[in-house]
A and B are shown apart, each in its own frame.
Chain A
Amino acid sequence: MILDNAREATAEALQVRPDEVTFTPTGTHAVHLGVLGLLRGSRRGDLVAHSAVEHSAVHHAVRWGGRGDSVGVDRTGRVDLAALHTAAERDDCAVVALQSANHEVGTVQPVGEVDLPAGVPLFTDACASMGRVPLPRGWAAAAGSAHKWGGPAGVGVLLVRKGSRWRNPFPDDDRIDERTTGFENVPAILAAAASLQAVVAERETTSARHRELIDVVRSRVAAEVPDVDVVGDPDSRLPHLVTFSCLYVDGEAIVTELDRLGFGVASGSACTASTLTPSHVLEAMGVLTHGNVRLSLQDDATRADVDAFCDALPEVVRSIRARVGM
């Protein structure tokens, strides 16, 4: 009963039907179920055409359950829509996967413009955008992650459009919601649904404020730090995040130094990853991968916060470059 309330609140916030909502243990699991369930329901083959900048959860699901056909993106990270359509026309193309917006650079993908042949469903990984911006149109299955909208960790959302050919890719579990396995984490799901309602109710004002603050960061970083690549689409983007790369700067050094000054940032640089390979997103976009910084605004971020960051950054970059004689 309590779970049904959470399901209804979530459905209403996302403007979908309650019976299209399944709660999963994580966003990653929702992605896996979404991709693999559409693959299993397909009568065409096992090929998944996807953008080159999908989250690794999509790449892993595709590799595990089928074959991938990666479609390139432009310098801003936006998928080549014509190439995606061509890939979808192949006889053995079973599913097309296109994220709502990119999790690293924020670029919004043209999900609503995707026009697929009959029998080829669209999976949309909406983990980066769910709650913050309305869901795009046209998907047969979609996935979200509660902690990405500010809810608790440990709750994912799988959406399966009524009437789409989705089949459980894993063994059945004879429970109320046949799309998932095990007992739902009811307290966390309630918290997730409540925070989603709050985020959606306030998103117009939050988005406008975040968009303005990120515009400040984008223009100040580009103007005040020499040899910097501010990446992602400047306009068609998520409101709350920005990514840029600084020439000759070690990614780990800049993250560590900013952290020491109290600014929590992430990086897609190889030097910060255990694998020594750079972010596949930055690579696909053809933008500088080293010295990479990703700033995500907290909900209550202020102009003073972003100004403090922009004030500190040029000296941080200069000192790291000076260490290597640049």
Chain B
Amino acid sequence: MNDIALELDCRGMPCPRPVIELARNLASVAVGDLLAVVAEDPAARVDVPAWCRMRGQEWVREDTAADGVARYVVRRLA
């Protein structure tokens, strides 16, 4: 859990805001570091991995935040 360099709180944000926040904050973590987005938006489950594929980043995993909301973890590759 401590391996996440930056966690974005996108609770309550509708699609496609969580993915926009992810893209905006990518440059805030170093190449090789992990960036996570916590979101209730059900589209994020599909769209975060799709974003990784389209933007050449690495999809790492889905887990949950302390309050049970889904958290999507990606690794900055470039």
Q: Tell me the A residues contacting B by CB distance below 8 Å.
A: 227, 229, 245, 247-251, 269-271, 276-278, 282-283, 286-291, 324-326
Contacts and interface: CB of A to CB of B under 8 A. Distances in A.
Nearest to A275: B42
A83 to B, nearest CB: 20
Contact of B42 (A249, A278, A291): A278
A229 B47 CA distance: 11
Given A270-B42, A277-B42, 11 more contacts: A247-B51, A270-B14, A270-B15, A276-B42, A278-B46, A278-B47, A286-B46, A286-B50, A289-B50, A290-B47, A326-B23
Given A270-B15, A276-B14, A288-B50, A248 B23 contact: yes
Given A229-B54, A288-B51, A326-B23, A248 B42 contact: no
A247 B54 contact: yes
Given A248-B19, A248-B23, A289 B14 contact: no
The dominant DSSP class at the B interface is helix
A280 to B, nearest CB: 10
B54 A288 contact: yes
B55 interface: yes
A282 B46 contact: yes
A278 B43 contact: yes
22 contacts: A247-B23, A247-B51, A247-B54, A248-B16, A271-B14, A271-B16, A276-B42, A277-B42, A277-B43, A282-B46, A286-B46, A286-B49, A286-B50, A288-B46, A288-B47, A289-B15, A289-B43, A289-B50, A290-B16, A290-B19, A290-B47, A325-B24
Given A270-B42, A326-B23, A229 B50 contact: yes
Nearest to A278: B43
Contacts of A326: 20, 23-24
A287 B54 CA distance: 10
Contacts of A287: 46, 50
Contact of B41 (A247, A270, A282): A270
B19 A247 contact: yes
Contacts of B43: 269-270, 277-278, 289-290
Nearest to B50: A288
A283 B46 contact: yes
Interface string B21-56: 001100000000000000001110111011100110
A152 B10 CA distance: 45
A324 B20 contact: yes
A249 B41 CA distance: 15
B23 to A, nearest CB: 7
B59 to A, nearest CB: 10
B51 to A, nearest CB: 7
B55 A290 contact: no
B16 A291 contact: yes
Nearest to A282: B46
Given A227-B54, A227-B55, A286-B50, A250 B16 contact: yes
Contacts of B50: 229, 245, 286-289
Contacts of B45: 283
B45 to A, nearest CB: 8
A289 B47 contact: yes
A250 B43 CA distance: 12
Contacts of A248: 16, 19-20, 23
B15 A278 contact: yes
Contacts of B14: 270-271, 276
Contacts of B41: 270, 276
A316 to B, nearest CB: 16
A269 B15 contact: yes
